Chains A and B, each alone.
Chain A
Amino acid sequence: MKPVALIIRRELAAYFKGMLGYVIFAVLLLLEGLMFNAWALSSGEYRSSEVLGAFFTLTFGISTAAAILLTMRLFAEERRDETLVLLTTAPISDWQIVLGKWLSAFAMVALFDALTLYMPALVMVNGSIEPGHLAAGYLGLLLVGAATTAIGTLASSLTRYQVVAGVVGGAVCLGLTLMWMVGKIADPPFDAIMSYLALHNKHFLPFMKGGIHLRDVIYYVSIAFLSLLLSRQVIGARRWR
């Protein structure tokens, strides 16, 4: 695991020394804070659980955007700067390279999610929230973060252009999120398949409501694993090109 830890340490340092981490966190947290404030303080009375549900939907979208912005540089930047050779000629496996990169981005997304905790805390002060509901929602956010950072890692491994990586990663995440709409108009059995693949509606809604189901955990872990497996194949294929 030592090489993985070394890669994580270097990546985390790069996020903060290059200011990228601060900028992404500041802009997205500000955006989410404004949106949450506008919704929560808008006219109408809501129950605490409804406000919390809306908060999780909002955080799902914003943290997915954070995942894409944080992952788009992972491999694309190294390929552009021709520094990937430091990793590919080191006595470490392609799995360790991919794992180190992904874990660093995942740690950043987890930190981002943690920084949003003040918003449910405000709801808690003015209303009443079940700790279990909050924990389930955050577990869901972490699982979504694991899946979306893995998708972003895969997109970044495909190109030397960060913008292209961001667009590809964002398009895949958006496509998976909108699958429930496609599922509604598709014929059987595709409607069920499409609905099952939906990143938000099918698998995140239970977490938002405070429920934890193994099938949803398996879905997010599978997306993450498949994306990382493909990333490893892409990095490995570079040796055969």
Chain B
Amino acid sequence: MIEVKGLSKYYGAVPALVDVEFSIPEGAIAGFLGLNGAGKTTALKILAGEMLPTAGQVTIDGVDMVARPEKLRAQIGFLPERPPLYLEMTVTRFLTHVGQLRGMTRAATTERVPKVMEQTALTAFAHRTVETLSLGYRKRLGIAQAIVHDPRLVILDEPISGLDPVQIVEMRKLVRSLGGKHTVLISSHILPEVHETCDRLLVLADGKLVAQGTEEEIRGMGSPDRTLEVTVRGNAQKARKLLNELPEVVSAEPTRWDGELTTFALELGPNERAREAVARALVEADFGIWRMDAADNALEAAFLEMTRTRQEVKA
């Protein structure tokens, strides 16, 4: 169990983190979500033992990070946004070196390094020098160095930044595979990233933890979703007029045309049965309904609401 209490960090008089408190259960994958400059990297550096907080406490199973830093660092693996790699070493040599730096014996690294290379799909590159690896494989090696000593907590700062779509999918699989055995903490400002990989979210804005919980819980913290996408067959002008005249609809604007089909983006009023009213009106006016979807952006809406409110207050 990782527990953070009253964590604050000031750069001079500028607050980077203010009174942050959370806990992550053993084996969970938690995601730090926040806009650039929200304090994610600062929080991760403190948790990794690279930086000391101005105030507060970080404990892993009750052992305090500030009081016993060297003991705790052996239980933590950290991948910064730019993977820290010694380019002149081979992949095997690098992982062995890092493992030994983190307290492993030579015999233990001999046994562990091939397993980690297999887990991170680096076996084929075992004898290649690091400088010859592509960015995607350097990121993999970054994760491999973070887990080579089998730490309790693995911290990954923006693990997918700079990767191509195929590499992103592979990286997600890799990160998900770490859960259960390790407690994983990821930072990202990309919503689909945390949506795909994390069990639990921590939302940071201006250095403050504005929300924490499962994805469902965070979704529920935003305002109710009142958007709707409707694709209808028939005269687009008439459909637009009909939809905009409905008392349940705040606005209806066409967004796509495909032959006879027109897609409208609707903003609905607070009436709970607004969707039913829209469907009924379209059917009664003899429009064919091809598709009717609530846009799945509740998480994004909640995130923007939490962070935007703070930005606006600040402005």
Contact = CB atoms under 8 A, between A and B. Distances in A.
Interface in B37-94: 48-52, 70-71, 73-74, 76, 78, 80, 82, 84-89
Nearest to A82: B82
A34 interface: no
Contact of B101 (A81, A90, A239, A240): A90
B73 A91 contact: yes
Interface of A: 2-3, 6-7, 10, 13-14, 17-18, 81-93, 238-241
A85 B80 contact: yes
Given A93-B70, A239-B50, A86 B145 contact: yes
Nearest to A3: B101
Nearest to A13: B88
B82 A87 contact: no
B79 to A, nearest CB: 9
Contact of A89 (B11, B76, B85, B88): B76
| 7 residue pairs, one from A and one from B, having the closest CB atoms | A91-B74, A83-B84, A91-B73, A90-B101, A17-B88, A91-B70, A239-B52
A6 B103 CA distance: 11
A18 B86 CA distance: 11
Nearest to B82: A82
B103 A14 contact: no
Interface string B85-118: 1111100000001101111000000000000000
Contacts of A239: 50-52
Interface of B: 11, 48-52, 70-71, 73-74, 76, 78, 80, 82, 84-89, 97-98, 100-103, 145
Contacts of A88: 49-50
A12 to B, nearest CB: 12
B48 to A, nearest CB: 5
The listed residue with most B CB atoms (<10 A of its CB), out of A10, A86, A241, is: A86
Given A6-B97, A239-B51, A239-B52, 5 more contacts: A10-B86, A81-B84, A86-B84, A89-B50, A91-B74
B50 A6 contact: no
Nearest to B100: A6
10 contacts: A2-B100, A6-B100, A14-B86, A18-B88, A82-B84, A85-B84, A89-B50, A89-B76, A90-B101, A239-B52
B145 A14 contact: no
Contacts of A7: 101
B86 A83 contact: yes
Contacts of A2: 100
A34 to B, nearest CB: 31
Nearest to B96: A6
A42 to B, nearest CB: 43
B70 A240 contact: no
B98 A86 contact: yes
A228 B182 CA distance: 37
A81 B145 CA distance: 16
B101 A86 contact: yes
A92 B103 CA distance: 9
A145 to B, nearest CB: 25
Nearest to B54: A240
A239 B100 CA distance: 23
A91 B76 CA distance: 9
A89 B103 CA distance: 12
Contacts of B52: 239-240
Contact of A82 (B71, B76, B80): B80
